[in-house]
Amino acid sequence: MWALAGGTLLAAAGVTAWGVRGRSASLFGPSVWRGGRTRPLLALTFDDGPSEATPRVLELLARYGVPATFFQCGANAERLPRIAREVAAAGHEIGNHGYSHAALYLRSPGFIAREVGRAQSAIVGVTGRVPLYFRAPYGARWFGLNAVQRRLGLLGVMWTTLALDWKLPAGRIAARLLRGASNGAIFCLHDGREIRPDPDIGETLAALQSVIPQLAGRGYRFETVSGVLGRPSSPPV
């Protein structure tokens, strides 16, 4: 009996752990980690912004005519409203990345509701765009998120390839992205560092400078998350 009970607890713990971080998991709310595999589309996504470095990302994307999806922290959008609006004005898609970049796992449903709801309100108020997508800070979901996503109409978005661009040099970031490219892939990069001001994202920019033309040369086309999922994008408020 004790062995059976122990095995059941271990199995439940395993399922919960997978639900928290598993990229294909929807245990704690509807979620996707890639688009369809029939068309050569890729989505660049950027977390943790806006930051003082975001305009450099926008310049690079504009140079190559690449649309992207920016998962913004509500606190950063309020701190840098002009830059947050520049992202929207450039035609990029904006998603919800929580208000203060706080980890949601092991938190109460009330805390999760406040973090996600406050971010949604902040982003709408600053940018005039209603996020359709949510990416949990650190990619970690928890109990209570499902209800919040459904109330706000948010689809969770994980990733096909995590660039690890906050800690790797440009060459290794580029290698991860090139290796992870496939039809419908969603790449996770960063235009900020949590809610810290003036982050150094030089390695991210250098990697993208190399990767974007290489992937275009392979026949891939860049789209927003909505584009690779074949869903309509968010209209202005």
Distance CA(121)–CA(148), nearest Å, equals 13
Q: Using 70 as the pLDDT threshold, list the residues of the chain that sit under it.
A: 1-14
Digit-coded pLDDT (tens) for 105-128: 999 999 999 999 999 999 999 999
Of 48, 92, 190, 191, catalytic = 190
- 47, 48, 165, 191: the catalytic one is 47
DSSP 190: E
Would you call 198 a catalytic residue per the annotation? Answer: no
Active site (annotated) includes residue 190: yes
In tens, the pLDDT along 125-165 reads 999 999 999 999 999 999 999 999 999 999 999 999 999 99
Q: ∠ CA(236), CA(67), CA(37), 5° rounding?
A: 110
- Domains annotated for the chain, with CATH where assigned, are 16-229 (3.20.20.370)
30: left (phi over 0), alpha (psi -120 to 50) or beta: beta
Question: Rounded to an integer, what is the distance from CA 176 to the centroid of its chain?
Answer: 17
- The whole-number pLDDT of residue 13 equals 57
Tell me, what's the pLDDT at 4?
52
pLDDT for position 217: 98
